[in-house]
Structure 1
Amino acid sequence: MNIKRYFQSEPSNVGSSLSSSSKPSKIDLDDLPRDPSERKPISSYHPTQKDGIRLAYLLRGPCQPTEHDFPQTNYSGKLRRFNPDWYAGEFGNWLEYSVEADKAYCLYCYLFKESGQSEAFVSEGVQCWQKAREKFGGHVGKCNSFHNKAREKGEDLVKQARYIDVVVDEGTDIPKRQ
C-alpha cells in the first residue's frame, strides 16, 4: 500500500513557527526514526501530518530487534536483560525495544498518547526486566485503558487506509454500507 499519495505535505516557509495554521514541513515517511528513543512526540508534528506519520509507523510495525546483544542489568544480585521472546504472543503487536536506550516502549501509546497518560511506555521508556510480563500486562490494563484505546485507534486507522486504498485502486465509488 502506498500511503504517500494520501499524505503529501507542502514545503514549509523557512523560519516560520509551527502552528495549526502554518504550512507543514515536508516529511519523508520512509525516513522516520526506527528506534523509539529517537522519535519526536507525535504532538510536535503538524496536525495535517499526524495520521500519515501514524499510519507509516503502524504499517512498519513495532521496532523489535532480535539480533542484538541485550545488555544485562543487576536487579538485587541477579542479572536480567530484555528478552526478545516477549515480542511473541500478547505483546507482539505493540512492544518495542530501543537499542540506544535499552528500554521498552509501546508503539500504540506513542502514536495516540492522550492527555493525562503516563510517559513511561511513550517517551521515557521502561527498563523492567524483572517480572516484565506482569509489568507489560499492567500497561495493557483493562478494556478502557489508555493502551487499549490507543490500540483501537491504530487498528481503525489501518482499516480506514486499506479501505481507501481498495476504492482508489479499483476506481470505484465508495460502496454503500449495508
Structure 2
Amino acid sequence: MPNLVEPDEFVRDALKLAAEEKLPIEMGRIVWRADGRLERRGEGESLSFKFVYRGVRFEGRLDMNDTGKIAITADLGTLPYTAESAGARHQLLRLVRGAAAKQGLHLVVSHDQQIRIAAEGTTPRPRTPVYCLATLCSLLLLLRPWLELIGVALYESRRAAAIRAA
C-alpha cells in the first residue's frame, strides 16, 4: 500500500472551503487571492472578465446579486467621417438606428465617434459555469450578425481610405 501524504495547508483550506459550500458551487463564489489561497467571494460582488470573440475584445461583468445580470461590451472601431467614406458612414449609422429596436442589444456611437456594442441578459440560478457560459453564448449569438455587418462596413471604409492614399 502506498504511503499517503498529508495534504499541505493550501489543499486543506481549499477542501474545507469547498466542503462548506452548498452544491452546486456558483460561478465566482470562490476566488483565488493574490497569495494563492482560495477565499469565498462576498454576496453582491460582481465578477469581471475579458475575452476575444471573432477578433473583437470584449469586457464582461456578472452581477452576483439576486439579479444575476451578465453584461458584455466592446469597442468596434471609429465611425468614418463622411469625407473618408460616406457610404460606410451612412451604413453604420443605419445599423446603429436599427439596433435600437432589438431587446438586449445596445449599439451606440460615442461623442468621440467610437462604435460601441453591448448586450445584457440574466443568468438563471444556480449560476454554475455551464449556465453562465450558456447565457454568454446566447448574447454572442445575438451580437454575431451585427458584428459581421459592422465589420464589413468598417473594412470597406478602411479599404476606400487605403485606395485614396495610394
The question of a shared fold, defined as TM-score above 0.5 by the shorter chain, is answered with: no
Calculate the TM-score normalised by the size of structure 2: 0.32
Calculate the TM-score normalised by the size of structure 1: 0.30
| Bigger strand fraction | 2
Structure whose alpha-carbon radius of gyration is higher = 2
